[in-house]
Amino acid sequence: MSNKDFVTGRRGALGIVAGAAILPLLPPRGVAATDVPAPTSKTSRDIDFNEGWLFQRGQGSGLEVLGLDDKGWRAVDLPHDWSIEDIPGKDTPFDKDAIGGGPTGYTVGGEGWYRKHFRLDNVAADARVEIAFDGIYELGDVWLNGVPIGGSVSGYSPFALDLTPHLDRDGDNVLAVWVRNEGKNSRWYAGSGIYREVHLDIIPAGTSIPRSGVGAWTRRITGGVVEVEVTSKVSNPAAATELVTRLRDAAGRVVGEAKSTSAMEVRQLLSVRGARLWSPADPYLHILETELRRGGKVLDRIVQLFGLRIVAFGPQRGMTINGETIKIRGGCVHHDNGLLGARAFREADERRVRLLQARGYNAIRSSHNIASRSLREACDRLGMLLIDEAFDMWHVGKNPDDFSTRFKDHWSEVLQAMVLPARNSPSVIMWSIGNEIPRRATPEGIEWSWKLANAVRRLDPTRPVTSAIHGTLGPTLIPSEASARPGRAGKVDNASIVFLDVPGYNYRLEEIELEHQAHPERVVYASETFARDVVDYHRLMKANPYFIGEFLWTAIDYIGEAAVGRSEPVKPGTSRYALATWPYTTSNCGDLDLIGAQKPPSLARDVVWGLSPLEVLVHRPIPAGMVEQITNWGWPDELPSWTWPGQEGKPLSVRAFTVGDHIDVLLNGTKVAGKAISAADKMRALVEVPYTSGELEVIAYRGDRVIARRQLRTTGQAARLGLMPERSEIKASRQGLAFVRLSVMDASGKVLPDDARAVRLAVRGPAELVAFGSGNPRWTGSVQASATRTFRGEALAILRSTGKLGTVRITAETDGLLSASTTVQAA
Amino acid sequence: MDAHLYPAASAFEQPKRLPQILSTRTSSIAELKEDPEAMAFLKEALPGIATMTEGPIAIVFEAMSLRNAVVFGRVTQDAVDRIEARFTEINARRGLCR
């Protein structure tokens, strides 16, 4: 899919089947199969194992047994998340009394069972078979043919299990997975179930390349030559076998090659002349092939995508990629995909990346967990930088049932699960060992910080270790020679960051320049920021090389942390902690809402980041006797709207964001206000304008020159619905999705900016409706039913292909208005 | 251009902790609670200090400074300024300066 196929509008995103006969060699996604020669044995990796599962929600015992009658179970295709489904017997996934409460968006966890029947008739008789889960929330135990074979240790860690010892190679096999999401274990919506992809690997017997056994990094770029160092592990290295590593360009041409005698570990150097580098502006991917050969026979092969780039950090130049300074314009994202819940569909993860890039973002912080493989690979393909994060807590928990209860036993496995599969991803710029870690500055916390940071460095010494620090940096102290980072022994540092290479700061705006005076050696960034501070951080970024950028909390609304970004009228004196969070179910702190539509803080950011010279917002009138209460993560209740029925003659607050130095405001062609904008105004001008319907125009000037005009026009009555697919095609595969935007429009086609009404959707053809809803943060109804309500004039339908070809017709209706229909082609 | 590497350190040794200056900006609430003299004063100046580190978010809150607490509406700026003045006196008596 090219960028031009993806429709974004002015308002953000509006505007083997069991028993497969022959398992093909699958190249990495994005690589044409013809580019890669086929191996000579019937083995393969990365086989899609997402279809044909059975599911039963609720507790059960003995459901793992081979002969269980599971005919009554529900058929599901992965990824799957039962917490976003309607609660059995209700028409909503939300429950005001849910144990997780507001933090998990009032959704419900519990237990669920999955089963999958499959055959592997044509797999080599001695081949090893592994199943790889990219993530199960929160805990999963797995059985093959009634025999326990292992399970997960955390809700976000990819893990693989060996099926070989208990596999029936000639008959039916049954996998059973018992998943639990219980107690208070999360501070945000986590979802429940096998919510990420599952793959099968067929691995040759004897000599082979172990999972995540190949690590490559760009060592040097000089004189037009790129040197890539590759370290490959070999399981059971046999005599007379050689390890061949090749780098191909995107067209399949070999641009670098090294051959070595195989050993337990083989280190090779590839030199590539004139290679195209990877960068956010040009995310060019090479193909890294690793082959084990004996004579002319290929015994095993791993093929993966790889980007040639050097990312460096220093206080004089900040962060450079291939020698060019790049400032981070980043956003934190939780892992959910909005209305889809936690389901990590490739196309949904890719859509998130594209939506953010359309708004100028160049980096994502995967807060506060390991990113899905699908999100990370989308970042690789599209040039989005990524900080991957392991933990939200270490030895001291934030919730009674969270990962802290297992941390001491499983921290090392989680770090390996984060680093090893992702270390060849060019998008990953740092490894984060934590977010706002409690008790990190105590002696025990300091020791954990050292253990974690150095465990990461042993796994991958090519990227800096970071952590997101809130509050203070902790006591001053001096590390020893044995413990310190290079060059830091005997020098004063702070407890929370002494073992970090690049510390991240949450909400520490005022401290950054002050601390630089005492610690000019530090390279820092803001790992979480408030939207209201966008101008301050931008100025900080421009003025200070050592400050490499910011990550907004958050780039997109997410389910859970209900109401953290609320803004609403309250009686004067009301405590900010006194308000109930129900019926909020989402955070409401994103630049984009739950369906990807642009929100007011994003319009302001557009101006600051240079995407727009002028944006105009109008504050919703506050009822008499009330004041607006805005949380730190919130934004005033503004809209880009001049449709305020009932406010005729009353003054409305109009706020312009502009790079200009003054504005004029015209109402129906007559100037009604003007305002100069100084540096102290931080690109904002506030004026009061008595409301009359018509056209409000703001003109921005720099000196005498008009640099931009923006009009807000009063919309007419709702007249019809509109439907617009973001793409004209849907992939005819169970992983294929179509995102279709619904809007309520007046007779002239303008979207009603504050409309809320019931709408119904019908889908015919080879696709099913899997989500339907809006960006309303106070929505407590179903997000999978065929009826919902619009919010700010919009809703989003998400369709999933049935896997068949054909035309999908979507029709939307509402009472009293013209209906709308559209089609997408399943191809 | 050569890539920079981040090698692992050889062994853990607890870093040597330096005498700490009391500050509303750089001392965390947890650190202040460990200082009996500071805490005695804070209990008078900020009666809510004891409960500030209780409740569901306390574990996160205790890493914050008193100035951070202003942003989250837990303390007023006036109170913080008064406390800072007292901390300066205590630091001077202890022979600690910035």
pLDDT of A13 > 80? The answer is no
Contact B5 A462 (CB under 8 A): yes
The whole-number pLDDT of residue A506 equals 97
Q: Which of A310, A439, A461 sits opposite B1 (nearest CB)?
A: A310
Low-confidence ranges of chain B (pLDDT < 50): none
When pLDDT is averaged across residues A388-397 and rounded to a whole number, the result is 97
User: Is residue A342 within 8 Å of A134, Cβ to Cβ?
Assistant: no
Rounded-to-integer distance, Cα A781 and Cα A474, Å: 44
pLDDT of A297 > 70? The answer is yes
Q: Per residue in A431-472, pLDDT tens? A: 999 999 999 999 999 999 999 999 999 999 999 999 999 999
The token pair at B10 is 């050889």
The whole-number pLDDT of residue A575 equals 84
Q: Tell me the percentage of chain A whose pLDDT exceeds 90.
A: 92
Among A29-33, A323-327, A733-737, B9-13, the range scoring the smallest mean pLDDT is: A29-33
Chain A, window 549-578: residues with a beta carbon less than 8 angstroms from a chain B beta carbon:
575-577
**Residue A43: which pLDDT band, with cuts at 50, 70 and 90?**
low
Minimum CA–CA partner of B98 in chain A: A518
Q: Which of A438, A475, A507 sits opposite B59 (nearest CB)?
A: A438
Alpha carbon distances (Å) from A321 to A216, A281, A819, B58: 17, 10, 50, 40
Contact A461 B9 (CB under 8 A): no
Q: Which of A796, A779, A780, A787 is nearest to A814 (CA)?
A: A787
Distance from CA of B6 to the nearest CA of A (A): 5
**If you average pLDDT over every residue of chain A, what do you get?**
94
pLDDT of A129 > 80? The answer is yes
Q: Which of A470, A476, A511 sits opposite B18 (nearest CB)?
A: A476
Chain A, window 716-755: residues with a beta carbon less than 8 angstroms from a chain B beta carbon:
none
The whole-number pLDDT of residue A137 equals 98
**Residue A28: which pLDDT band, with cuts at 50, 70 and 90?**
very low
The token pair at B84 is 């800072």
Distance from CA of B44 to the nearest CA of A (A): 23
pLDDT of A63 > 60? The answer is yes
Q: Per residue in A547-568, pLDDT tens? A: 999 999 999 999 999 999 999 9
Cβ contacts below 8 Å, chain A against chain B, sum to 134
Contact A511 B73 (CB under 8 A): no
**Chain A CB contacts of B66 below 8 Å:** none
> How long is chain A?
827
When pLDDT is averaged across residues A567-594 and rounded to a whole number, the result is 93
**Chain A CB contacts of B72 below 8 Å:** 632
Question: Sheet harboring A737-745: ordered strands across?
Answer: A720-725, A737-745, A794-801, A767-773
The whole-number pLDDT of residue A289 equals 97
Q: Which of B5, B10, B28 sits opposite A471 (nearest CB)?
A: B28
Q: Is A443 on the interface with B (CB under 8 A)?
A: yes
Contact A483 B15 (CB under 8 A): yes
Minimum CA–CA partner of A459 in chain B: B8
Q: Is B97 on the interface with A (CB under 8 A)?
A: no
Contact A463 B6 (CB under 8 A): yes
Chain B, window 11-70: residues with a beta carbon less than 8 angstroms from a chain A beta carbon:
11-18, 20, 25-28, 30-31, 59-60, 62-65, 67-68
**Residue A21: which pLDDT band, with cuts at 50, 70 and 90?**
very low
pLDDT of A29 > 60? The answer is no
**Residue of A28 and B14 predicted with greater confidence:** B14
Q: Which of B6, B9, B14 sits opposite A484 (nearest CB)?
A: B9
pLDDT of A211 > 80? The answer is yes
Q: Which of A220, A472, A477 sits opposite B3 (nearest CB)?
A: A220
**Residue A2: which pLDDT band, with cuts at 50, 70 and 90?**
very low
Q: Is A633 on the interface with B (CB under 8 A)?
A: no
**Chain B CB contacts of A454 below 8 Å:** 8-9, 12
Rounded-to-integer distance, Cα A346 and Cα A374, Å: 5
Q: Count CB-CB contacts under 10 A for residue A271.
A: 16
**Residue of A492 and B50 predicted with greater confidence:** A492
**Chain B CB contacts of A436 below 8 Å:** 60, 63
The whole-number pLDDT of residue B97 equals 74
The whole-number pLDDT of residue B53 equals 66
Contact A632 B72 (CB under 8 A): yes
Q: Is A693 on the interface with B (CB under 8 A)?
A: no
User: Is residue A569 within 8 Å of A336, Cβ to Cβ?
Assistant: no
- The single-letter code of the amino acid at A427 is S
**Residue A7: which pLDDT band, with cuts at 50, 70 and 90?**
low
Contact A492 B26 (CB under 8 A): no
Contact A483 B9 (CB under 8 A): yes
Q: Is B73 on the interface with A (CB under 8 A)?
A: yes
Q: What is the pTM of this model?
A: 0.95
Distance from CA of B62 to the nearest CA of A (A): 8
Can you say whether the dihedral through the CA atoms of B45, B50, B55, B61 is positive or negative? positive
Q: Which of A221, A472, A485 sits opposite B64 (nearest CB)?
A: A472
The angle at the Cα of A355, spanning A533 to A324, to the nearest 5 degrees, equals: 70
pLDDT of A255 > 80? The answer is yes
Q: Per residue in A504-535, pLDDT tens? A: 999 999 999 999 999 999 999 999 999 999 99
When pLDDT is averaged across residues A748-767 and rounded to a whole number, the result is 98
Contact B1 A486 (CB under 8 A): no
pLDDT of A383 > 70? The answer is yes
The whole-number pLDDT of residue A184 equals 97
Q: Which of A221, A397, A472 sits opposite B1 (nearest CB)?
A: A221
**Chain A CB contacts of B67 below 8 Å:** 510
**Residue A779: which pLDDT band, with cuts at 50, 70 and 90?**
very high
DSSP string for residues in A114-131:
EEEEE--TTS-TT-EEEE
When pLDDT is averaged across residues A241-249 and rounded to a whole number, the result is 97
Residue of A472, A498, A528 to mutate when probing chain B, most B C-beta within 10 A:
A472
Contact A312 B30 (CB under 8 A): no
pLDDT of A30 > 50? The answer is no
Rounded-to-integer distance, Cα A401 and Cα A408, Å: 14
The whole-number pLDDT of residue A122 equals 82
Q: Per residue in A684-721, pLDDT tens? A: 999 999 999 999 999 999 999 999 999 999 999 999 99
Rounded-to-integer distance, Cα A206 and Cα A127, Å: 9
**Chain A CB contacts of B53 below 8 Å:** none
The whole-number pLDDT of residue A32 equals 35
User: Is residue A179 within 8 Å of A136, Cβ to Cβ?
Assistant: yes
Q: Is B92 on the interface with A (CB under 8 A)?
A: no
